[in-house]
Amino acid sequence: MAEFSRQFLIDNGVPDDKVDVIMAARNKTLNETLAGYVPKADVQKQIDDAVAKVPKPEPVDPKTTEDYLKLQQERDMLRAIGGDDFASVKPKFRETVFKMLDRGDKAKAVSEQLTEIKGQYEEYFVPAEQPKEKPTFGSPDKGSMPKGEEGFVNDTLKNWGYRKE
């Protein structure tokens, strides 16, 4: 399809006063026959009008969102349970103990709160004194693997007739 533009008409010898008439007739025909046809010159104006109608979004402070606050609480918990105060708490109970703490402005110190929790939930904490020796259930292992030429193996071989002395 040939490009039907103002420059095309001028290049093909159409006088300037006739170019305007031809282009006006072309635009009228396009507007009548094609639904929704918009000339190029009008498109940018329509875009600018549509953008102006869209309300500007309110700026959001990311530090006030619910996801950020949850993430901040989890970070604080991980820092606390990894610290020296929680060294006496068994690892599998650290999150539970952390949730029991009062973290308000007028709350007691964490070490004092842990002492109180230890009084109620002793099983959550590592015992202060570890037994020096572990209990044994049976006699201790003494001995080693049999050595080929002495003891039981030598006697067994002699009794079964494999070795003569």
Within 6-151, residue ranges assigned H as helices are 6-11, 16-33, 40-53, 66-81, 94-100, 110-120
Domain extents for the chain?
6-53, 62-124
Cα 138 to the center of its chain, rounded Å: 51
Per-residue pLDDT of the chain (165 residues; tens, 9 = 90+): 456 777 888 888 888 888 888 888 877 777 777 777 777 777 888 888 899 999 988 888 888 899 999 999 899 889 988 888 888 899 999 999 998 888 888 888 888 888 899 889 989 988 877 667 777 777 777 777 766 566 666 677 777 777 666
Backbone angles phi, psi at 22, to 5 degrees: -65, -45
Q: What is the pLDDT of residue 70?
A: 93
pTM over 0.75: no
Q: What is the pLDDT of residue 14?
A: 83
Q: What is the pLDDT of residue 1?
A: 41
Distance, in Å, from the CA atom of 15 to the CA atom of 34, rounded to the nearest integer, reads: 28
21, two tokens: 């008439």
